[in-house]
Chain A
Amino acid sequence: MKVLFINNDGGGFADYVELEEGTTLGQLSDSKMHGAKASNYLIRVDSRPAARDQVLQEGNRVSMTPTKIEGANASLLLAA
């Protein structure tokens, strides 16, 4: 099955990902967060709060949004 996965951390790009039937939200988020703390992200399915054990369905839209985003580009400031 296909779900739309949106990573709002950084680029904010949306991509369709192919998942096996019965994949849970927890399994998908673990594979996408690369060891980052889950508490630092707001993870929604079709813009609604969802539990880790929620089984994903064909066509779901899963978004991962950091709870903290810095409002300025520090790297450029340091380079200046």
Chain B
Amino acid sequence: MPMIKKAFVRAAMAIHSHLARRGRSPTVEVPNMSWDRVSELAKLVKRARYRGWHLAADSLCRDLVYVLPSLESHLTAIREELSRSRNRANHVLTANDIYSDLQSLEREFPELGLDLGLKQLSVTTDPIELEGVYLGPFEIQLYWTRPLHTGPPAYEVVAKDPHPAESRRNVTHPHVMDNVLCEGDGHTAIRQALTAGRLFDFFMLVTSILRTYNSESPFVELSLWGGTSCSDCGTLVSEDYSYTCYRCEETICGECETPCGGCEECYCSGCVGSCADCEEPFCRSCLKTCEGCQRRVCTGCLEDDERCTKCHEDQEREDETATENPAPIGAPIHSDGLGQAPLPA
């Protein structure tokens, strides 16, 4: 006879009791969290546009496009739930079925965790690798008393050996941001499984999503997983097409990378200037100060007398004028502008 696990029995009874209670008194749970995210992103887009940060605004719009379906799905689920709940037979599993699901989960996953105090059930997946990118194992943590559509999420997906995207450290999987899974096509099935207490189906559905890459709308594309944002324009660049500023070591894209006309190293826009004379880009080390006008010029535009071409020519003209019209010996010295300084006899 198989051994009965007391912890599983307690958990099965607690979960069943909670689901049965929820089933008896159906409530409409407004998706406040999704709405707040949409609202906050919309505000940020508006602010970015107002300040002329168009790249940031575009990036936020992409996030908004990604979050909106989630809100829409929540609202659709509420509408469907309300229309179904009137005549639906209650499919909530028995405590015995939930107990069987716990046993199956223990067999299916490498790790299963149960915390009756926290009302948390978790499983850990095998390490996940998508299109050659290693993401590591994930722990799916279900809090069975949390509501499905409001407040903190009913479950979280936590990377056990995080390999997040370089550009966004809170994205641990193309479809997981801040430990929240964007369920996409699995949304309704997940809600149904949780409502009925089908724990095994719930964890298998989440795992199926984690093992699938939807290249149409990830938080970060897998091809750019190792890439970082260009410090100048904010564009996401892959490792193969990025440059490092020779001075500040920030990552920059090919469009923003500027080679110095002197040392030929590449720099970001913050570390490169232009010669005041020829206007070509040069790094700070390759620009010198003209002794005449104090402007910063390249060595090509600096004459032997450490003056820029313009100052050098001005000096030459002055010297020529001085040679052609030398000041007469004994000419009176005008006191204008010299103040009251006494002159020697």
User: Are the CB atoms of B184 and A72 closer together than 8 Å?
Assistant: yes
Select B184's contact among A42, A61, A65, A71, beta carbons within 8 Å: A71
For B187, the closest partner residue in chain A by CB is: A73
Distance in angstroms between the alpha carbons of A12 and B200 in the assembled complex: 13
From B89, B190, B217, give the contact of A12 (CB < 8 A): B190
- Cβ A74 vs Cβ B217 within 8 A: yes
Contact string against B for A residues 11-44, beta-carbon threshold 8 Å, 1 for contact and 0 otherwise: 1111010000000000000000000000000101
Q: Is B217's CB under 8 angstroms from A11's CB? A: no
* B interface, size bucket: 35 or more
Question: Would you list which residues of chain B between 176 and 206 have a CB under 8 Å from chain A?
Answer: 181-186, 188-193, 196, 198, 200-201, 204-205
Docked pose: A47 CA to B109 CA in angstroms: 13
User: A11 with B66: in contact, given A68-B211, A77-B216 (CB under 8 Å)?
Assistant: no
B208–A47 touching, CB < 8 Å: no
**Distance (whole angstroms) from the CB of A8 to the closest CB of chain B:** 5
Q: How far is the CA of A13 from the CA of B89 in the complex (A)?
A: 12
The verdict on B69 contacting chain A, using a C-beta distance below 8 Å, is yes
Q: How far is the CA of A76 from the CA of B97 in the complex (A)?
A: 37
Task: Please pick, from B101, B193, B212, the residue contacting A69 in the complex, using a CB distance under 8 A.
Answer: B212
Q: Which of A14, A63, A68 contacts B208 (CB 8 A)?
A: A68
Interface string of B96-137 (1 = CB under 8 A from A): 010011011000000000000000000000000000000000
* Interfacial chain A residues near B217, Cβ < 8 Å: 72-74, 77
Smallest CB gap from A73: residue in B? B69
Which of B91, B192, B193, B208 has the largest count of A CB atoms less than 10 A from its CB? B208
Chain A residue at smallest Cβ distance from B80: A11
Does A14 contact B196, Cβ atoms closer than 8 Å? yes
Interface residues of B (CB under 8 A from A): 65-66, 68-69, 72-73, 89, 91, 97, 100-101, 103-104, 174-175, 181-186, 188-193, 196, 198, 200-201, 204-205, 208-214, 216-218
A-B contact pairs, 8 of them (CB 8 A): A9-B189, A44-B104, A69-B205, A70-B216, A71-B212, A72-B175, A74-B216, A77-B216
**Contact surface of A with B, Cβ cutoff 8 Å:** 4, 6, 8-14, 16, 42, 44, 46-48, 61, 63, 65-74, 76-78, 80
| New A-B contacts (14) at CB < 8 Å, excluding given A10-B188, A14-B192, A71-B182 | A8-B193, A10-B189, A11-B192, A12-B192, A47-B200, A61-B97, A65-B205, A69-B184, A71-B184, A71-B213, A71-B218, A72-B69, A76-B69, A80-B65
